[in-house]
Amino acid sequence: MPVQARRTPPHLTMISRSTAALLLLAAAGCRAPRAAPPPPAPELPPGVNDEAETRLLVCVVQGGRITTVAMKYDPATGDSTIGGRTFAEAYPPTAEHAATAPWYVAYEPIEFQGHRYLEYGLPRVLSAHDLAPAGSYRGVAVFVEPGDRLPYTVLYLPVSPDCLFQPYYPPEVGGAVRG
Protein backbone atom coordinates (compact mmCIF):
# COMPACT_ATOMS: atom_id res chain seq x y z
CA MET A 1 0.00 0.00 0.00
CA PRO A 2 1.49 3.36 -1.02
CA VAL A 3 2.23 5.87 1.73
CA GLN A 4 0.72 9.30 1.23
CA ALA A 5 2.63 12.40 2.24
CA ARG A 6 1.00 14.21 5.07
CA ARG A 7 0.02 17.78 4.24
CA THR A 8 0.37 20.61 6.72
CA PRO A 9 -2.87 22.52 7.27
CA PRO A 10 -2.76 25.94 5.51
CA HIS A 11 -3.22 27.94 8.72
CA LEU A 12 -0.10 26.32 10.21
CA THR A 13 1.90 26.85 7.05
CA MET A 14 1.12 30.57 7.09
CA ILE A 15 2.17 30.90 10.72
CA SER A 16 5.46 29.20 10.15
CA ARG A 17 6.15 31.26 6.99
CA SER A 18 5.39 34.44 8.91
CA THR A 19 7.65 33.38 11.73
CA ALA A 20 10.40 32.50 9.28
CA ALA A 21 10.15 35.89 7.60
CA LEU A 22 10.43 37.69 10.94
CA LEU A 23 13.42 35.58 11.92
CA LEU A 24 15.16 36.35 8.64
CA LEU A 25 14.59 40.07 9.09
CA ALA A 26 15.83 39.96 12.67
CA ALA A 27 18.88 37.91 11.70
CA ALA A 28 19.75 40.35 8.92
CA GLY A 29 19.41 43.31 11.28
CA CYS A 30 16.73 44.86 9.12
CA ARG A 31 13.96 47.06 10.30
CA ALA A 32 10.69 47.86 8.69
CA PRO A 33 10.87 51.25 6.96
CA ARG A 34 9.43 54.15 8.90
CA ALA A 35 6.63 56.23 7.50
CA ALA A 36 7.66 59.58 6.11
CA PRO A 37 6.74 62.53 8.33
CA PRO A 38 3.66 64.47 7.22
CA PRO A 39 4.35 67.50 5.07
CA PRO A 40 4.33 70.84 6.88
CA ALA A 41 1.10 72.81 6.87
CA PRO A 42 0.91 75.24 3.96
CA GLU A 43 1.68 78.83 4.84
CA LEU A 44 -1.14 81.30 4.50
CA PRO A 45 -0.78 84.33 2.26
CA PRO A 46 -0.06 87.62 4.08
CA GLY A 47 -3.18 89.16 5.58
CA VAL A 48 -5.15 85.90 5.80
CA ASN A 49 -6.12 84.84 9.30
CA ASP A 50 -6.96 81.14 9.66
CA GLU A 51 -8.42 81.84 13.10
CA ALA A 52 -11.27 83.97 11.73
CA GLU A 53 -14.77 82.54 11.88
CA THR A 54 -16.58 81.86 8.63
CA ARG A 55 -20.32 82.31 8.18
CA LEU A 56 -22.16 79.57 6.30
CA LEU A 57 -25.77 79.28 5.18
CA VAL A 58 -27.35 75.96 6.07
CA CYS A 59 -30.66 74.48 4.92
CA VAL A 60 -33.08 73.47 7.71
CA VAL A 61 -36.48 71.72 7.70
CA GLN A 62 -38.56 72.84 10.66
CA GLY A 63 -42.26 73.37 11.21
CA GLY A 64 -43.16 72.03 7.78
CA ARG A 65 -41.03 74.67 6.07
CA ILE A 66 -37.61 74.77 4.48
CA THR A 67 -35.46 77.71 5.57
CA THR A 68 -31.84 78.78 5.45
CA VAL A 69 -30.04 79.74 8.66
CA ALA A 70 -26.63 81.28 9.30
CA MET A 71 -24.04 79.08 10.95
CA LYS A 72 -20.59 80.05 12.24
CA TYR A 73 -17.63 77.83 11.43
CA ASP A 74 -14.49 78.20 13.54
CA PRO A 75 -11.48 76.70 11.70
CA ALA A 76 -9.38 76.81 14.88
CA THR A 77 -11.66 74.34 16.66
CA GLY A 78 -13.53 72.80 13.70
CA ASP A 79 -16.83 73.67 15.43
CA SER A 80 -19.94 74.80 13.57
CA THR A 81 -22.46 76.62 15.71
CA ILE A 82 -25.80 78.40 15.47
CA GLY A 83 -26.30 80.92 18.25
CA GLY A 84 -23.50 79.24 20.22
CA ARG A 85 -25.06 75.75 19.92
CA THR A 86 -24.21 72.85 17.63
CA PHE A 87 -26.55 72.16 14.73
CA ALA A 88 -27.87 69.03 16.48
CA GLU A 89 -28.65 71.05 19.62
CA ALA A 90 -30.25 73.93 17.71
CA TYR A 91 -32.25 71.69 15.33
CA PRO A 92 -32.70 68.22 16.82
CA PRO A 93 -34.57 65.55 14.84
CA THR A 94 -38.23 65.45 15.83
CA ALA A 95 -41.40 63.59 14.86
CA GLU A 96 -41.69 65.94 11.87
CA HIS A 97 -38.69 64.13 10.32
CA ALA A 98 -39.14 60.62 8.93
CA ALA A 99 -35.91 59.04 10.22
CA THR A 100 -37.47 57.48 13.31
CA ALA A 101 -41.02 56.92 12.03
CA PRO A 102 -41.88 53.19 12.09
CA TRP A 103 -43.39 53.33 8.58
CA TYR A 104 -40.18 54.87 7.20
CA VAL A 105 -37.88 52.41 8.97
CA ALA A 106 -40.02 49.52 7.62
CA TYR A 107 -39.88 50.87 4.00
CA GLU A 108 -43.69 51.00 3.86
CA PRO A 109 -45.38 52.65 0.87
CA ILE A 110 -47.21 55.87 1.64
CA GLU A 111 -50.66 57.06 0.61
CA PHE A 112 -50.77 60.80 -0.14
CA GLN A 113 -53.82 62.67 -1.45
CA GLY A 114 -55.36 59.49 -2.85
CA HIS A 115 -52.21 58.21 -4.57
CA ARG A 116 -49.74 55.52 -3.55
CA TYR A 117 -45.98 56.21 -3.52
CA LEU A 118 -42.98 53.94 -2.96
CA GLU A 119 -39.62 54.84 -1.45
CA TYR A 120 -37.04 55.15 -4.21
CA GLY A 121 -33.25 55.25 -3.93
CA LEU A 122 -31.23 56.86 -1.19
CA PRO A 123 -32.03 60.09 0.64
CA ARG A 124 -30.51 63.20 -0.94
CA VAL A 125 -29.66 66.69 0.23
CA LEU A 126 -31.73 69.42 -1.43
CA SER A 127 -31.76 73.17 -0.93
CA ALA A 128 -34.54 75.49 0.15
CA HIS A 129 -35.39 76.62 -3.39
CA ASP A 130 -35.60 73.07 -4.84
CA LEU A 131 -38.95 72.16 -3.24
CA ALA A 132 -42.41 73.46 -2.41
CA PRO A 133 -44.69 72.28 0.45
CA ALA A 134 -47.56 69.97 -0.56
CA GLY A 135 -48.99 68.79 2.77
CA SER A 136 -48.04 66.20 5.36
CA TYR A 137 -48.06 62.45 5.89
CA ARG A 138 -48.44 61.17 9.46
CA GLY A 139 -46.95 64.40 10.83
CA VAL A 140 -44.05 64.55 8.37
CA ALA A 141 -44.07 67.39 5.85
CA VAL A 142 -44.34 66.41 2.19
CA PHE A 143 -42.59 68.47 -0.47
CA VAL A 144 -42.75 68.39 -4.26
CA GLU A 145 -40.89 70.07 -7.07
CA PRO A 146 -42.24 73.58 -7.75
CA GLY A 147 -44.96 73.52 -10.40
CA ASP A 148 -45.68 69.77 -10.07
CA ARG A 149 -49.39 68.85 -10.00
CA LEU A 150 -51.42 65.86 -8.79
CA PRO A 151 -50.65 63.07 -9.21
CA TYR A 152 -47.19 64.23 -8.19
CA THR A 153 -44.20 62.88 -10.09
CA VAL A 154 -42.06 62.68 -6.94
CA LEU A 155 -42.69 63.30 -3.25
CA TYR A 156 -39.85 64.34 -0.95
CA LEU A 157 -40.08 63.68 2.78
CA PRO A 158 -37.49 65.14 5.17
CA VAL A 159 -35.49 62.44 6.89
CA SER A 160 -33.64 64.86 9.18
CA PRO A 161 -33.55 68.61 9.92
CA ASP A 162 -30.54 69.22 7.64
CA CYS A 163 -32.54 69.03 4.37
CA LEU A 164 -31.92 65.34 3.76
CA PHE A 165 -34.96 64.14 1.78
CA GLN A 166 -36.20 60.67 0.82
CA PRO A 167 -37.83 60.56 -2.62
CA TYR A 168 -41.04 58.60 -3.20
CA TYR A 169 -42.36 57.72 -6.67
CA PRO A 170 -45.69 56.32 -7.84
CA PRO A 171 -45.43 52.56 -8.49
CA GLU A 172 -46.20 53.05 -12.20
CA VAL A 173 -42.92 54.92 -12.75
CA GLY A 174 -40.74 51.85 -12.24
CA GLY A 175 -42.85 49.55 -14.41
CA ALA A 176 -42.80 45.77 -14.36
CA VAL A 177 -39.59 43.82 -14.00
CA ARG A 178 -38.96 41.20 -16.62
CA GLY A 179 -37.16 38.04 -15.67
Q: What is the pLDDT of residues 84-133, one digit of tens each?
A: 999 999 999 999 999 999 999 999 999 999 999 999 999 999 999 999 99
Domains in the chain: boundaries = 54-90, 98-174
Query: pTM to 2 decimals?
Result: 0.67
Residue 104 pLDDT: 97
Q: Which of the listed ranges 33-42, 49-58, 74-83, 127-136 does the model predict with the highest average pLDDT?
A: 127-136
Mean pLDDT of the chain: 81
- Residue 166 near residue 104, CB atoms below 8 Å: yes
Q: How far is CA 130 from the centre of its chain?
A: 19
pLDDT higher than 60, residue 55: yes
How far apart CA 123 and CA 67 sit, in angstroms, is 19
Residue 172 pLDDT: 80
Which of 24-33, 64-73, 74-83 has the weakest average pLDDT?
24-33
15: left (phi over 0), alpha (psi -120 to 50) or beta: alpha
Residue 2 pLDDT: 52
Which of 30-34, 91-95, 153-157, 158-162 has the weakest average pLDDT?
30-34
